[in-house]
Structure 1
């Protein structure tokens, strides 16, 4: 039976197929042992993709705003320099006065008599000294006596000047042209030295005072144009006339004064106002506040792509911010700003750029 099966062609074919299969398998294992596996290719690194948009800098009129107060250009309280009774009021509240105009009259209180006495005493001392000089030339008067008479003459001159000044001070005068703003006395009032009599103001031009933060004072220059907005909406034009050289210790702000013309004598002094100082125009970009970020040093800035397709971080200063966006300075005049993907790249990285969708 077995001999018949071994002689069968089918049996022979099966045996040959098994032998061939074993030979093929043994050849693959041998080659695997002799040859090292082929080196696998590393995947190609992909550059980060960012979206950008071009931004052009435009001139922007920068202003500094502060709350201020309108004051008279000059204001003085006229006080009594002599004691006495008010006998006449020569200028009333609201009256315009010129420099040197008499404002009121105080009682004489014997000052005229003292002045006359001082004049007579001076005349006597002058006569005595003239006679003494004649005698001195003839050696009939000592030098000591001549010196005494000269001293008495000098004292008489001082007494005359004092009496003349005391009488003049019974009629106070305006130290500058202006308006009588307040009157504090009536006819018949008894006043003492230092009593307030009237308030005199000069309002043909006004002085606006304000405080500017220390970080903004470097941009100010005397002579700059200033807009002064009143509470009722009116706007006046002025000129920056003074900037203090030292900051207030408590507020760290600098005191400024603005000169404003007021030829119509509008009643503005003492009121509040908003001061807007126009600075030199600067080149600024209008950007979304969402594009602002902080670098490793905490500096605020914006990431852009340069001509070599590399990321550059530019520190910026925010000039203004409103509903339209933030205006910033510090970027190149024309900048390719990263609008998407800035958080996945760092300065110096080379990136692929896609134009941001409008």
Structure 2
């Protein structure tokens, strides 16, 4: 009896231990696990010797903008474009009614035919006058005619020759007038002188158009110009920039010019996107009221993605270079408190507020308290990070970065 009771107690205790162990295992399996590190791509912070930049403001303007007119007057018969329509060079934009000019050309063609008939008539008159003159000269040689009659016949030949020349000159004038009428007929049609976009229409179908009056306004889109109002004290620095760009254009891409490219003027749009610019031109005249001058750069726009009138910011290098921290543009994030970036320290994405000083090609020069050259900043994957998130960093050259990159 005692042995049976002891056996029952032992079995119950064993079952209880098994139940507790199983419950503990289930609790461990259902417990929340920490999320895995977020994979990100990083690039090192660099220190470069860069000249400080002065900020100037400007706008994009169309390199070609024309108010197109017709040399003829008349009723607008066709208006083939509307505002915002993209047109190609040589495309018909508008046309005037040509009924009256066509009638004038038909009348003129009849006049030319009459002038040619007159010439044929004058040729026949000349032939007759020459025949009469030869007959009279033969009779004079035989002593059977009056000298006055010979003289009159000679005059008749001269008059016939003069009439022929007059008829030929008249035909030449009529031919020139015919060419003018053809030109006037062509001037009834307005063609696009370059590729562009119609920005304004001044007339409609059926309206009267005076000679030389504007029909449409056309703006080129493939090439724009960046216009900046630059303070007069920056004139020497802008002239240095022009020399840099001239050297780059003449020599092309050369390794020797790499240091110069880091000293070039930078231009960005309202979204802080860098724009390619070239061919810096300067108007060497200081405005007496604003004490500034105009600096102009060419901006290619082959895909028509940039609109005229877009606000621009230019950064002109000045003074002597000094050490500055440089990071990729992709590292910069924008929050409510301003721009910031994530620096990888001990495997964590540590946010740091930064101040953007100026762009440098695809990079930006920044000022950030506590950031040091050589540290790794996140350039890809930063949009999905939270402060102090664990990260698995891979460098921009695809080699792993040590987790403790805070030294």
- TM (normalized to structure 2)? 0.48
SS at match of 1:103: strand
Where in structure 2 are there 5+ consecutive unaligned residues?
Answer: 1-47, 131-153, 247-263, 325-357, 359-365, 369-407
Greater C-alpha Rg: 1
Equivalent residue for 1:190?
A: 208
Equivalent residue for 1:68?
A: 58
Aligned equivalents of 2:234 and 2:119: distance in 1? 69
- TM (normalized to structure 1)? 0.54
Task: Indicate if the aligned counterparts of 1:67 and 1:210 stay in contact, CA closer than 8 A.
Answer: yes
SS at match of 1:116: helix
Equivalent pairs, count: 232
Instruction: Give CA-to-partner distance per residue, 1:181-231, whole Å, 9 cap, x none.
Output: 222332222222233221211112211112333443333216365433223
1:212 equivalenced with 2:230 (yes/no): yes
Task: Indicate if the aligned counterparts of 2:51 and 2:322 stay in contact, CA closer than 8 A.
Answer: no
Instruction: Give CA-to-partner distance per residue, 1:314-345, whole Å, 9 cap, x none.
Output: xxxxxx9x999xxxxxxxxxxxxxxxxxxxxx
Matches within 5 A, 1:1-358: 59-125=49-115, 128=118, 135=126, 140-142=157-159, 145=163, 148-219=166-237, 220=239, 221=242, 223=245, 225-248=264-287, 250-278=289-317, 282-283=320-321
The 1:103–1:182 alpha-carbon spacing in structure 2 relative to 1, beyond 3 Å, is same
Instruction: Determine which structure has the larger strand proportion and give its number.
Output: 1
Query: Structure 1 residue 167: deviation in Å?
Result: 1.6
Task: Indicate if the aligned counterparts of 2:196 and 2:220 stay in contact, CA closer than 8 A.
Answer: yes
Where in structure 1 are there 5+ consecutive unaligned residues?
Answer: 1-57, 287-319, 325-358
Query: Structure 1 residue 102: deviation in Å?
Result: 0.8
Aligned equivalents of 1:243 and 1:147: distance in 2? 60
Instruction: Determine which structure has the larger helix proportion and give its number.
Output: 2
The 1:74–1:63 alpha-carbon spacing in structure 2 relative to 1, beyond 3 Å, is same
Aligned equivalents of 2:226 and 2:163: distance in 1? 63
Query: Structure 1 residue 238: deviation in Å?
Result: 1.0
